[in-house]
Amino acid sequence: METPFFLKNSRSNRIFAILHSADSQDDSFRKKTALIYCHPLFEEHQLSHRISVNFARYLTAYGCSVFRFNYFGDGESDGLFEDASIKSRVEDIQSAITEVQRRVKPELLFLMGLRTGATLAMLAAQNCQKINGLICWAPILNMGEYIYNLLRENMSTQMTVHKKILFDREKLIEQINQGIFVDVKGYNLGNPLYNQSLEIDFTKHTLNSQVPFLFVQISNMPKVEKHLEEFRQRHNSYDLTIKTVTEQKMWVPQKMVYPSYTELFSATLSWIKEKACL
């Protein structure tokens, strides 16, 4: 059963959510299990949306309930994109955790995200006792670098409209710091999102969470990318699994839409089952 509804976050804003309830307990899940999915930011959310829905239905069929939601300022939740921050989005994840515990009462709860959604999930998992595992699909470890590179999109737009670059990256950053929003492919990028993003760098910092976690590298390269390998080395005492899957990057426009992502789904499910103490 799939139920769409609004919940109130910690700031009394409406957050849109859909709960995919597992109809029956699959034999492979001995404990009642649920998963919260954190979507990526900007248009990556839209581009990857259907895959997240397919994955939710895939997991539900195996007996794991899935909770999907939009952060404040995204999707059908209240607010404007530019009014949300890293902090507000992490708080929304915490509200989602509370809601899932209230509605589903799972014995095991996993937090999961794609790209910047994975980054937000990592932040929410820190110092959180309520989750039993963390799944990160193609995580962005250096949020500052990611946000900085997005400014290139604005410069491309300037070329289209003005046939030249009026404001280079440094001037755009200056505008952001002056409280002016910078358009990045249809999204207003400003503070506090920009400055809060600069503080997030898991290529240097350690994740403050002892839950088991799974990184899934989604690319056509079987070898684990350098930044993930370095993360593993810095977290060598953690229960960290890195898997690589050869799948299409669903967060960017593709010529062929949509493949079944069988390898990605089954790799993730097998890890969840393993951590659900089978």
Partner 1 sequence: MERPIKFINNKKESLFGMFYIPDQQTASAKTGILISVDSIKPRIGTCRLHTIIARYLMDIGYYVMCFDPSGIGDSEGTFEQKQIYEHYCDIQQGKYLNDSKDALDFFKAEFNLSQILLFGICGGAISMLSLAAQESGISGLILLAIPVLFDGPENNTNQDEQVSKISSEVQSKMIISDYVQKLFGLETWKKILSFKINWILELKTVMKAVKIFIIKSTQKLFRPLISKKKLNLEKVPVSVNPKYNMGFQSAFIRSIKQKNQMLFIFAEFDHYTWNFKSEFQDLVLVPGNPFEPFYEITILKKANHIFSSTETQTTLKETLSSWLSRKFPLET
Contact pick of 170, 204, 237, 256 for partner 1 (by CB under 8 A):
256
Contact pick of 254, 262, 266, 277 for partner 1 (by CB under 8 A):
254
Q: How far apart are CA 263 and CA 265, in angstroms?
A: 6
Torsion of CA 182, 185, 186, 188, to 10 degrees: -20
Cβ atoms of 140 and 115 closer than 8 Å: yes
Choices 84-92, 105-113, 153-161, 189-197; region in contact with partner 1 by CB under 8 A: 153-161
Contact pick of 127, 129, 160, 178 for partner 1 (by CB under 8 A):
160
Contact pick of 185, 206, 246, 252 for partner 1 (by CB under 8 A):
185
Rule CB under 8 A: say whether 81 interacts with partner 1.
yes
Q: How far apart are CA 183 and CA 172, in angstroms?
A: 10
Angle (CA) 249-255-261 rounded to 5° is 40
Our CB check for partner 1 shows the closer of 181 and 238 to be: 181
Angle (CA) 103-110-101 rounded to 5° is 20
What is each CA distance from 95 to 6, 55, 123, 133, 243, in whole angstroms?
A: 12, 22, 14, 17, 29
Q: Which of residues 35-54 bind partner 1 (CB under 8 A)?
A: 43, 46-47, 49-50, 53
Rule CB under 8 A: say whether 74 interacts with partner 1.
yes
Our CB check for partner 1 shows the closer of 21 and 28 to be: 21
Rule CB under 8 A: say whether 18 interacts with partner 1.
yes
Choices 27-35, 128-136, 182-190, 211-219; region in contact with partner 1 by CB under 8 A: 182-190
Choices 31-39, 74-82, 223-231, 237-245; region in contact with partner 1 by CB under 8 A: 74-82
Residue 191 DSSP label = T
Rule CB under 8 A: say whether 262 interacts with partner 1.
no
What is each CA distance from 12 to 95, 228, 235, in whole angstroms?
A: 10, 37, 37
User: What x/- string results for residues 91 through 130 when contact with partner 1 is judged by CB under 8 A?
Assistant: ----------------------------------------
Contact pick of 105, 258, 262, 277 for partner 1 (by CB under 8 A):
258
What is each CA distance from 82 to 150, 153, 183, 211, in whole angstroms?
A: 15, 17, 10, 32
Cβ atoms of 105 and 99 closer than 8 Å: no
Binding site for partner 1 (CB under 8 A): 2, 4-6, 14, 16, 18, 43, 46-47, 49-50, 53, 74-76, 81, 157, 160-161, 181, 183, 185-188, 253-260
